[in-house]
A = this chain, B = another copy of it.
Amino acid sequence: MTEAEFLAALRLLPLHPSARGLRDDSARLIHAPLVVTTDTLVERVHFLSDDTPQDVAWKLVAANLSDIAGKGAKPDGILLNYPLSDDAWDRAFLAGLGEVLAACGTSLLGGDTVTLPAGAPRVLTVTAFGCDTPAPPRGGAGENDALWVTGTIGDAGAGLAIAQGAAGPAELAARYRRPQPRIAEGRVLSRIAHAMMDVSDGLLIDASRMGEASGLAVHLDLAAVPLSAAYRAFAGDDRDARLTAATAGDDYELLFAMPANTVPPVPATRIGRFARGTGLRLSDGAATVPLPARLGFEH
């Protein structure tokens, strides 16, 4: 598509009032404070060349809104940096973009379109804004705080294997293709969590980052890591399966720290605690588990 055709199609999607009809080089953000986050997806690195354009659009926006959810913020628009290519791909991408904007209750603020040299892998960036948040830092956990996570872990990692050809439940592939940012849960948790972040690079690496940012050690119990029935059917639930789940990426769940005697007001699982010291310590029930060589995605 040409830039003009693409912009005309974008104007049919939910536009932010600040977008000025996408007829300006810049948008005006009126809320403060705002949280802002940005993620780039690269073809053959972050998504497969045969992932549908609808799913790529969904994942690009959902991955960013998951960071907004991690701050407990209300989504307040996105910017899109998009490489124009063939009409069919662009139209399918626009369809997916419309779906994810509607599903997440947000809108388009602006962006930029470019053309890539022939044959270059697609590189897509979204920058997302969120408002109305206390923005709990990832480094706010206190000694003896409990570590919790929403939802189930490892589904998207298994879903990636299924998308690449392994036999397995369609619902796992859907977790990989259409992650659901925990926006509503983030809104509630941000008012009470000491520290919060989304889990996108792998539970172990993200938990260790929260510990490091908080200046504390993290003790995480693999036996407590929540696995879905579909994941257990696909991969089992022995220690290896739990380690695989806890080091896979793309979960887009919320990881948060709360005082030990508090129960969170949304469905979540207690998986560990913070203690004086540094680093990540793994157990599996009563047994100590050596750290795997790889805790998650380090890019």
Q: Interface on A for B, CB 8 Å cutoff?
A: 2-4, 20, 23-40, 42-46, 67-68, 70-71, 79, 81, 83-84, 109-117, 120-121, 123, 125, 127, 130, 135, 137-139, 197-198, 213, 298-299
Please, which residue of chain B has its CB at the minimum distance from the CB of A4? B298
Other contacts beyond A30-B32, A37-B110, A40-B114: 10, CB < 8 A: A24-B137, A25-B37, A28-B33, A29-B29, A29-B33, A29-B34, A36-B109, A40-B81, A116-B121, A117-B121
Q: How long is the Cα–Cα vector from A84 to B35 in the complex, in angstroms?
A: 25
Please, which residue of chain B has its CB at the minimum distance from the CB of A206? B25
- What is the distance, in angstroms, from A6's C-beta to the closest C-beta of chain B? 10
Assuming the A-B contacts A23-B138, A213-B23, A298-B4, are A112 and B40 also in contact, with contact meaning beta carbons closer than 8 angstroms in the complex?
A: yes
- What is the distance, in angstroms, from A198's C-beta to the closest C-beta of chain B? 7
- B4/A112 in contact, CB under 8 A: no
**CB-CB nearest 10 A-B residue pairs:** A32-B32, A123-B123, A26-B37, A29-B34, A3-B299, A40-B81, A25-B67, A26-B35, A125-B125, A44-B117
Assuming the A-B contacts A36-B109, A127-B127, A298-B4, are A117 and B27 also in contact, with contact meaning beta carbons closer than 8 angstroms in the complex?
A: no
Q: How long is the Cα–Cα vector from A110 to B64 in the complex, in angstroms?
A: 14
- A116/B42 in contact, CB under 8 A: yes
- B115/A71 in contact, CB under 8 A: no
- What is the distance, in angstroms, from A85's C-beta to the closest C-beta of chain B? 13
Assuming the A-B contacts A44-B117, A213-B23, are A28 and B38 also in contact, with contact meaning beta carbons closer than 8 angstroms in the complex?
A: no
- B197/A25 in contact, CB under 8 A: yes
Enumerate chain B residues within 8 angstroms of A44, measured Cβ to Cβ.
117
- A34/B37 in contact, CB under 8 A: no
- What is the distance, in angstroms, from A44's C-beta to the closest C-beta of chain B? 5
Enumerate chain B residues within 8 angstroms of A113, measured Cβ to Cβ.
299
Assuming the A-B contacts A25-B198, A32-B30, A135-B28, are A38 and B4 also in contact, with contact meaning beta carbons closer than 8 angstroms in the complex?
A: no
- What is the distance, in angstroms, from A90's C-beta to the closest C-beta of chain B? 13
Please, which residue of chain B has its CB at the minimum distance from the CB of A37? B26
- A33/B35 in contact, CB under 8 A: no
Enumerate chain B residues within 8 angstroms of A130, measured Cβ to Cβ.
26
- B123/A116 in contact, CB under 8 A: yes
Q: How long is the Cα–Cα vector from A3 to B205 in the complex, in angstroms?
A: 14
- B81/A26 in contact, CB under 8 A: no
Please, which residue of chain B has its CB at the minimum distance from the CB of A25? B67
A-B contact pairs, 23 of them (CB 8 A): A20-B137, A23-B213, A24-B139, A24-B213, A25-B198, A26-B37, A27-B35, A28-B33, A28-B35, A29-B32, A29-B35, A30-B33, A31-B32, A32-B32, A42-B83, A42-B114, A42-B120, A44-B117, A45-B114, A84-B299, A112-B125, A113-B299, A125-B125
- B23/A27 in contact, CB under 8 A: no
A25, A34, A36, A46 — which one has the most chain B CB atoms within 10 A of its CB?
A25
